[in-house]
């Protein structure tokens, strides 16, 4: 995403306010990723309540907005999920048909 080093999970929740983020009660708070040394990579995982909410942010979010003076980038990817057994994020086998169509229409894939 290209997050500034001082970006917090709370900053991301505020930034995406109104776009149906998954509830904290499900332990789905925005997660800032770090490398093996614990240094933030500038990437984050943002989880939305469902595919429709994720599609909504793709089409209606103002991607020119900045957070801590940095414009966030978006990279289309296969949806991921948290695997409780391995305690790691894993990729799903494929994107949903509606998401693929939306990203195609937007020229992102």
Please write the tens of the pLDDT for every residue from 34-61. Answer: 999 988 898 888 888 887 787 788 788 8
Spell out the long-range contacts of 13-17 with Cβ–Cβ below 8 A and sequence spacing 24 or more.
15/65, 15/67, 15/72, 16/46, 16/57, 16/61
Q: What is the pLDDT of residue 78?
A: 66
What average pLDDT does range 84-103 have in this prediction?
Answer: 74
Domain with 28, as residue range(s), is 9-105
Q: By the 8 A CB rule, do 12 and 46 touch?
A: yes
CATH number of the domain at 56, please: 3.30.70
Give domain status of residue 93, yes or no.
yes
pTM of the model: 0.69
Tell me the pLDDT band of 24, cut-offs 50, 70 and 90: confident
Is 80's pLDDT higher than 80? no
């Amino acid at each position: 995403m290209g997050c500034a080093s001082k970006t917090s999970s709370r900053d991301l929740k505020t930034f995406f306010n109104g776009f149906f983020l998954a509830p904290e009660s499900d332990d789905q708070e925005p997660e800032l990723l770090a490398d093996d040394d614990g240094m933030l990579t500038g990437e984050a995982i943002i989880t939305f309540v469902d595919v429709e909410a994720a599609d909504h942010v793709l089409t209606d979010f103002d991607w020119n907005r900045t957070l801590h003076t940095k414009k966030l980038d978006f990279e289309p990817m296969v949806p991921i999920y948290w695997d409780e057994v391995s305690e790691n994020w894993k990729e799903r086998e494929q994107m949903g048909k509606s998401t693929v169509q939306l990203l195609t229409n937007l020229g992102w894939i």
